[in-house]
Structure 1
Amino acid sequence: MSEPFKALERAPRDSRHPLTEILDAVGFNESGLIPAIAQQHDSGEVLMMAWMNREALEETLHTGRVCYWSRSRGKLWRKGESSGQQQHLKSAALDCDGDTLLLQVEQTGPACHTGRRSCFYVALENDEARITAEPLIDPDTLYGSGKG
């Protein structure tokens, strides 16, 4: 754990700390990425997990529109740029170690590229996997011939 996050363990409630100092201490992995969990701000529904690099995180914090790092495309990915199903940031928080983000968002439509509201629709139960949700929108309608 980095020294800044160690110091935050004893920081009083509502104390303020320079954002740059905190971002410098974030535990980005060897690829420069941090996992970001997107949660619907009003219902608590976990929508998806994606990756952010520092640039994506800073853009998200400054614009309020959630931006991720697409590992498959090797570039910034503004949620909804292909599908129109955007995420607008309500709040962002780092975990105690500074290596995972929790984003409270306002999700328009489905968050998952399969057309489902949440990416977490495969329940693992005993000796089988059960699909727990139907697509809200057909993926071909969302993305045409490509995945978003």
Structure 2
Amino acid sequence: MSSFVFPARSTTAEIELGTTLQPKFDADGLIPCITTDHLTNEVLMFAFMNAESLAHTLRSGKATYWSRSRGKLWCKGEESGNVQRVKAILTDCDQDVLLLKVESIGGVSCHNGYKSCFYRQLSEDADPSDEASLKLQFVARRLIDPAKLYKK
């Protein structure tokens, strides 16, 4: 883990209306990060960042996340070639969520071969008391076979 430290959180007024980035990392050192296409604003993915991945993103200009499953930094596209070039980084009002606006090089953000990780939609007639009604419908087409993206 990096020793990189972002400014300490200060007053509510400074966090919510100030001009200094004071990200609120959770107890595990993570902050949620939503990533969108910088031109269309389509949500491409959701991941977590830690201080090291945020610092790497700032230095490299390439979206870098913290992989909870692998326990390591994950520079988007390092295996697939589908790099995300960061165009803007925004934070919400209390600085506990980040929003990356990116140019998606290669056009695929999902490890399943879709442009966006959000390629299925819950059926309109979903009823939480009826398990059979909780159906997901595909709302996008797969752009590439994942086996062609990841050659392990």
Report TM bin, short chain.
0.7 to 0.9
2:16, 2:95 within 8 Å by CA — same for their partners in 1? Answer: no
Q: Which residue in 2 is equivalent to 1:113?
A: 111
Question: Residue 7 in 1 paired to residue 44 in 2?
Answer: no
Provide the residue aligned with 1:26 in structure 2. Answer: 23
Per the alignment, residue 35 of structure 1 pairs with 32
SS of the aligned residue for 1:3 comes to coil
d(CA) in 2 for partners of 1:95, 1:113: 27
Deviation of 1:131 (Å): 1.0
Q: Share of identical aligned residues, percent?
A: 46
1:130 & 1:4 partners in 2: Cα distance?
A: 45
In the alignment, what sits opposite 2:80? 83
CA distance in 2, matches of 1:132, 1:80: 24
Q: Deviations over 1:36-57 (max 9, x none)?
A: 1110001111100011000100
Aligned length: 134
Give 5+ residue unaligned stretches, structure 2: 1-8, 127-134
Q: In the TM superposition, what is the alpha-carbon distance from 1:62 to its structure 2 partner?
A: 1.5
Match for residue 51 of structure 2?
A: 54
Does the aligned pair in 1 maintain the 2:90–2:99 contact within 8 Å?
A: yes
Q: TM-score, normalised by structure 2?
A: 0.82
Instruction: Check 1:54–1:4 CA distance in 2 against 1; reply closer, same or farther (3 A cut).
Output: farther
Deviations 1:18-49 (A, max 9, x none): xxxx3xx3211111001111100011111000
Counterpart contact for 1:39–1:104, Cα < 8 Å: yes
- Give the structure 2 partner of residue 134 of structure 1: 141
TM-score normalized by the length of structure 1: 0.84
How big is the alpha-carbon RMSD for the aligned residues of Structure 1 and Structure 2?
Answer: 1.5
